[in-house]
Structure 1
């Protein structure tokens, strides 16, 4: 029996298993692979346990299998988990090894590790050694999320800059050739300067949850041919116009039959960034006053559908079909392979 929720505003636990998105409902599941390139699995599980203290799932592995691997939902093929706390959570190794076992059941789990800019003031030699060991783990596909956040300034800006440079140099010095996951917010000039000074042009980069200016996006895309823009559910928010502007720019030279210019990947940043376009609560077994208490990787198709809508604002070349949700999911899936090898 599903556990009851803590309050009337929290839906029953079964509502967390999302129905397959309408745009991919009639398609064979195997033809559309969903890849979440940026999610915080441990934090999402913590959010679940906080909302459902008597919930059915007492382990992260059970939680992931139920929400992301069910045949009834938007089944995930791969996730890139993010460990960016300082200090690194004690359970990281046990968790990644446990979730890595899910590959035998159809879910490819990998992770990135690094110090978030909010945590820059906590960066130490000891922490760096821990990150270096984690970075060498066979399931680790990158260093991140690292970068600059001038919106909150939880760490002084000069410390953020110094720690970003240090982490970039450490990642390159490892010789492992893994990707870099970048967090940037309201730091356009400094992020461009630091990345172009510290990284080789061919470096594989994922600029996560992009919400900054089109100008800096174009500069980064032009300088780094293997840089991809991360799109989360925040693209659906009326308060954020920048992300759609970047998608329009990427779509100017891309079509469903020739999509290589569409240099984006899809991500959830779960448990954050729930898309605002999920539809009426009743379609998820909720009352009109309820909403999903957190995002998880199975919300990806709603973000993809919005991206397709934005791409279709331009007049398509003669003979070219409009973008579909499935088209966007396929392009994003291939780009995830290019960035992270997943």
Structure 2
């Protein structure tokens, strides 16, 4: 197994002006994955893990995602530990902890009145900033499609009624996702299309219809097998872009998934270990490598515009996260 010391990463673009704000991560699952892969690892609690890897890397805020059914009771421990400035300092070393909650389309078949009531209760917590992730996944079809659609509509109606921002999962379900969103959600509602890998034309239609919608960019944008996400970002500055062009993205890791391939430019990570293995999980400190890849897709500076680099992408994405979730 690759040494856990290699998870300690600091990107030169990170600064107080360009901090890391991860708008979609699964912290409990990331820590669980770490403990499973490193049972003798040095970080014994999730708070140790955050203090050792996230805060030194420049992680300023995270939006943690709870999307199981039934609802995990662990959410309350995390959220309550971030209620006061003192507890955030003691537990999280000052990092801002926020969360969203919903039911993932994989788990739609387990959605019940009790699950819905538990989510609605969580919506009242001061650290809750949205409902999700929810949506449609026609790639795996873990839940039957009619059930996915019915549960998606039901969650949207609850979230809109409560005026909660939406975190949306959509995979190979462009047509139904677009139709349901346009039927159920007011045009000015805040929407985050999480981990976008869909058709660029689908993204453009949503961006044109919903002025407060943002496209979520993960490390999957760096994968050679994925070109649609890169095209979607480029199109924000292309002929069909709004005037003036605007980078309508939020950055996310979806940790523990999708380590950005560009991270292997770090000298200590440039080659696999002796067994040919690479990093077995991602974490929030890896986000700047995704930002750097995004910067390389954007047009060079003209006139007084200095152009794009990882720091500027981090800064713009941070402002978008504030507009989306208030964090």
Q: Structure 1 length as normaliser, TM-score?
A: 0.88
User: How much does 1:61 deviate?
Assistant: 1.2
The counterpart of 1:147, out of the listed 120, 135, 152, is 135
How far does the alpha carbon of each residue in 1:175-234 deviate from its partner, in whole angstroms, 9 at most, with x for none? xx2210000011111001100110111100000000000111011001100000000000
**Greater Cα offset, 83-92 or 37-46:** 83-92
Give distance in 1, aligned partners of 2:82 and 2:72: 16
Give distance in 2, aligned partners of 1:107 and 1:36: 11
Is there any run of 5+ residues in structure 1 with no aligned partner, and where? Answer: 1-9
Structure 1 counterpart of 2:170: 184
Gap change, CA 1:137 and 1:259, over 3 Å in 2: farther
Structure 1 counterpart of 2:75: 92
Give distance in 2, aligned partners of 1:270 and 1:55: 18
Structure 1 counterpart of 2:156: 168
Give distance in 2, aligned partners of 1:304 and 1:253: 23
**Greater Cα offset, 292-301 or 278-287:** 278-287
Q: Structure 2 length as normaliser, TM-score?
A: 0.92
What SS does the corresponding residue of 2:236 show, helix, strand or coil?
helix
Structure 2 counterpart of 1:124: 112
The counterpart of 1:330, out of the listed 305, 315, 318, is 315
Gap change, CA 1:327 and 1:252, over 3 Å in 2: farther
Give distance in 2, aligned partners of 1:63 and 1:110: 17
Structure 2 counterpart of 1:14: 5
Q: Within 5 Å, which residues of 2 pair with 1:25-44?
A: 29-44=15-30
- Tell me if structure 2 keeps the 8 A contact 1:103–1:109: no
Residue 80 in structure 1 maps to residue 63 in structure 2: yes
Structure 1 counterpart of 2:220: 234
User: How much does 1:292 deviate?
Assistant: 1.5
Residue 250 in structure 1 maps to residue 236 in structure 2: yes
Structure 1 counterpart of 2:126: 138
Is there any run of 5+ residues in structure 2 with no aligned partner, and where? Answer: none
- Tell me if structure 2 keeps the 8 A contact 1:182–1:207: yes
User: How much does 1:321 deviate?
Assistant: 2.8
What SS does the corresponding residue of 1:160 show, helix, strand or coil?
helix
**Between Structure 1 and Structure 2, how many residues are aligned?**
319
How far does the alpha carbon of each residue in 1:18-76 deviate from its partner, in whole angstroms, 9 at most, with x for none? 1x224x27xxx212121000000000000010011122222111111111012xxx211
Gap change, CA 1:80 and 1:149, over 3 Å in 2: same
- Tell me if structure 2 keeps the 8 A contact 1:262–1:331: yes
Gap change, CA 1:98 and 1:238, over 3 Å in 2: same
Give distance in 1, aligned partners of 2:169 and 2:5: 33
The RMSD of aligned alpha carbons is: 2.1
